[in-house]
Amino acid sequence: MKEVVPLLATLQFLELRSSYADRELNIPFPATVQTLTEIWHCTPRNVKIVLRKLSDLGWISWQPGLGRGNSSMLTFLADAQDILLEEAIAQTKKGDVKGALELIDRFGESAQVKNGFLEWLSGGMGFTRTLGTDTVLDALRFPVQRSIVTLDPAAIYFAFDSHIIGHIYDTLVDFDPISETFRPSIAHFWESSPDCSEWIIHLRKGVSFHHGREVTAQDVIYTFDRLRLNPERYEQSWMFTGISDIRMLDRKTVHITLTGPNYLFLHLLSVKASSILPADLCGADEAAFMRQPVGTGSFKLVRHDESICVLEAFSSHFRGRPHIDRVEIIHLSEQDAGMLKEPDWSRASCTEQNVYNGYLRKSAGPDAEWREVETISPGCSMLVFNQRKEGPQSSLAFRRALDLIIDRKRMIADLGENRIYPARGFRTHRSGAADEVERMEPSPDAADIYRLLEQSGYRGETILLSTRSRHVTDAQWIQQRCRDLGIRMEIKVRKAEDMAGPGFSPEDDCQLYEVVLGNDEIQDLELYLQKGFFPSALADGMRETVEASARAVMSDSDPHSRWHRLYELEELLRQSCSVLFLLHKKSNTRFHSSIQGINLNSCGWLDFRTVWFQPHSLGELGSKGIRLG
C-alpha cells in the first residue's frame, strides 16, 4: 500500500523547490541549514527532521558537509509538479477542492498541472457507481460556479440556495407550476373558510425528520411562529405576519387564523421559506442548526463548506428513497469549471416526466450530438436607488437623468453577448418585442439630461454603485456613460452573501442586480415585501404605498385582478424611477444529446430526487449475443 504523505511534508517540499526553482533534478548543489531555517521558518533542529523526512520519501538527497568549510549538498530527486498534482488529487478525495486549487495556484509552475488536475477531476464528474461486497453506491458529482449563501429557508435570496433547500426540507403542500395545482406533501389534507381567513391543516402520519423523530403539529407551529414573530429578523417573515393565531388541535392537526382573507395562503405554504423545521433542534441552537440543518427532505446534508456540499439519500423519506445514494456539489470558479469536460450522461434516466428537458431536445433538433437552445431568461437586470439615504439619488430628476443616460439599445450594441433587448418591466411580455421597444424608446437627448441634472441640484458628488462580479461589465458601461455626461460614479463589487442581507448597505447609493421570476404571483410579491428588495430602498411614503398595495393583492379572490394590481405596482416603480429596468437577457443552454433522460428544472439544474443511474439495457444485452426471451 502506498504511504500516505502528510500535507505538511508536501508543503515543505514544494516551498523548498520553489526557493530553488532554477536547480535541475538529480544535480547536487550547495545549501546551508541556516538558509533552510529561513525557508521553513523553523529551528536548525527541525530543519534536520524535515530533511530526514523528505529524504525517506525519496524526494531529496541531503549530504551534510563534513568538517569546517565543507558545504552540505542538496539534490532534488522528485519532480515537484508531479508531487503537487498528487497532493491536489489527495486533497480533492478528502473533499477539499478549494484547497487543492489554491495549492496549484501557489506552486504550479505552468498551466500543465492545473490542466492535468482538471482532466482528472472531469473523469469523476457525472454519475459513478461503486460496487462493494454487498452494496452498490450510485453517486452524482458536478461542479457549480456559485457558493451556497444560506441553508436557512427563512433567509433565501438566491435560486441555487432554494434548489438545495428543496432537497433537504419539505413543505406542507407542493405546487405544480405546469398544472397550477396543489398536491399533498407533509400535509395530506387541508380545508379553509370561504374567505380563506381560517385554515385547518391535517398532517400525514409517518413523516420523519433526518434525526428520526416524527413531524408533529408543534413543528409546524414553531416554523411559522419563528417567521411571523420575528419580522425584523427573517427576510421571508412577510409571508406569515398575517397569522393572528396558530394552535394545535392534536398532534397531527393545526388550526390557523389569519387577520383577513388571503387567497394565496395555500400557495405560501408551498414555497421553500415554509419548509418545516424540527422544533427541538432548531429551537435549541439556531446558528449551529443552520450550519448542519436537518429536515424531512429526500436528502440529508452530511457536509457543507467552501469546497463541497454533500447530500446523502434519506432512506426513510415518506415518498420513498431516492435512487441516487449521494450527491457531491463541488464549488469551482467560472474559469476552472469551464475547463472541465462534459460528463457522459448516457446512463442517466428519470422517474418522472421530463417536461423541461423534453422541450430542450425538441427545440434543439434531432441531429447534433451537442445541442444548444436559446431562451429568454425569465426576468431582467435593473438598477435600484437607495432613496433612504441623502444624496442625488433621492431626487426624481436625477434618477430620470440616469434613466436617459442609460441608453439600453446602445448598451446592447456595445456589450452584446447574452443581452437581447431593453426591459420596461420585470417580465419579457411586459416589455414587448424588440422591434416594438425600438419604436417606443427615443434616443436620449443630452440637453434633456443636463436640464434634469441641473434641476436635481447635482454638484459632482460621487455615486456609489454596488454589484456582484457577474454584473461588473454592465456596471462599468453605466459608469463610463455617466462619466461622459459629468457624473462621477464608483463601483464596489460585493460578494453574494454581502448583498443578501436585509436592505442596502448604508453607503450604497444604488445597486445593480438581476431578478429571475416564475409565472406565479408569490415571486412578484416577494420583490415588494421581502426586506432585501425594494422596501429597504424606497422613501417612507412610497414604501408604505407599495407594501399596502402588495398585501392587498393577497386578499383579492380574482387571479386576473391580482395580476392587474401587480402590473400597477410595477408601473409605479417605473414612473417614479425607483427602479430602472435595464435589459432582458438570453440563456444559451448547451448540452450533450445523452442527457435526454435527466430531469432539469427551468434553471437547468438536476432534480436529485428523480434521477437514477441505468447501468444495463436490453439493447446492450442483445448486442452481446445474449438471447432475450
Burial of 267 (0-12, 13-18, 19+ CB in 10 A): buried
pLDDT bracket for residue 3 (50, 70, 90):
low
Closest to 209 measured CA to CA, from 324, 298, 285, 273: 298
Give percent helix, percent strand, percent coil of the chain, each to the nearest 5.
Answer: 40, 20, 40
The average confidence (pLDDT) of the chain is 83
Most confident of 67-81, 126-140, 481-495, 594-608: 481-495
Query: How many whole angstroms separate alpha carbon 150 and alpha carbon 104?
Result: 28
Q: According to the model, what pLDDT value does residue 431 have?
A: 56
pLDDT at 360: 40
Would the pLDDT of 436 be above 80? Answer: no
Its pTM stands at 0.76
CA distances in angstroms from 85 to 53, 157, 434, listed in the order given:
20, 37, 50
Q: Hey, what's the cell of 51? A: 530533511
pLDDT at 598 over 70: no
pLDDT on residue 370: 47
pLDDT tens, residue by residue, 162-207:
889 999 999 999 998 778 889 999 999 999 999 999 999 999 999 9
* DSSP per-residue string spanning 440-463: HSPPP-HHHHHHHHHHHT--SPEE
pLDDT at 349: 58
CATH code of the region 380-430+443-585: 3.10.105.10
- Sole residue written with cell 426591459: 423
Q: Could you give the CA distance from residue 224 to residue 126 in angstroms, rounded to a whole number? A: 38
What pLDDT was estimated at residue 235?
A: 82
Domain 153-297 architecture = Alpha-Beta Complex (3.90)
> Is it the case that residue 435 has pLDDT exceeding 50?
no
Distance CA 465, CA 472 (A): 10
Separation of alpha carbons 469 and 120, rounded Å: 28
Written as one string, the DSSP assignment of 586-618 is EEEEEEEGGGGGS-B-TTS-B-TTTEEE----H
Residue 116 has pLDDT above 90, yes or no: no
CA–CA distance, 453 with 36 (Å, rounded to integer):
64
Question: DSSP string covering 558-587, please?
Answer: -HHHHHHHHHHHHHHHHHTTSEEE-EEEEE
Q: Is 136's pLDDT higher than 90? A: no
Cell 536548525, residue? 44
Note the pLDDT of residue 131.
Answer: 77
Q: Tens digits of per-residue pLDDT, 566-578?
A: 999 999 999 999 9
| Residue 338: predicted pLDDT | 66
pLDDT (tens digit, 9 = 90+) per residue, 519-551? Answer: 788 888 988 888 767 777 888 888 899 999 999
Residue 234: pLDDT band (50, 70, 90) is: confident
In CATH terms, 1-78 corresponds, of 1.10.10.10, 1.10.3110.10, 3.40.50.720, 1.20.190.20, to 1.10.10.10
Query: What pairing do the DSSP bridges indicate for beta strands 326-331 and 462-467?
Result: unpaired
Segment 122-134 mean pLDDT: 76
pLDDT at 613 over 80: no
Q: Quick one: pLDDT at residue 141?
A: 80
pLDDT digits (tens, 9 = 90+) for 368-398: 454 555 667 778 899 999 998 899 999 999 9
Report pLDDT for 356.
Answer: 39
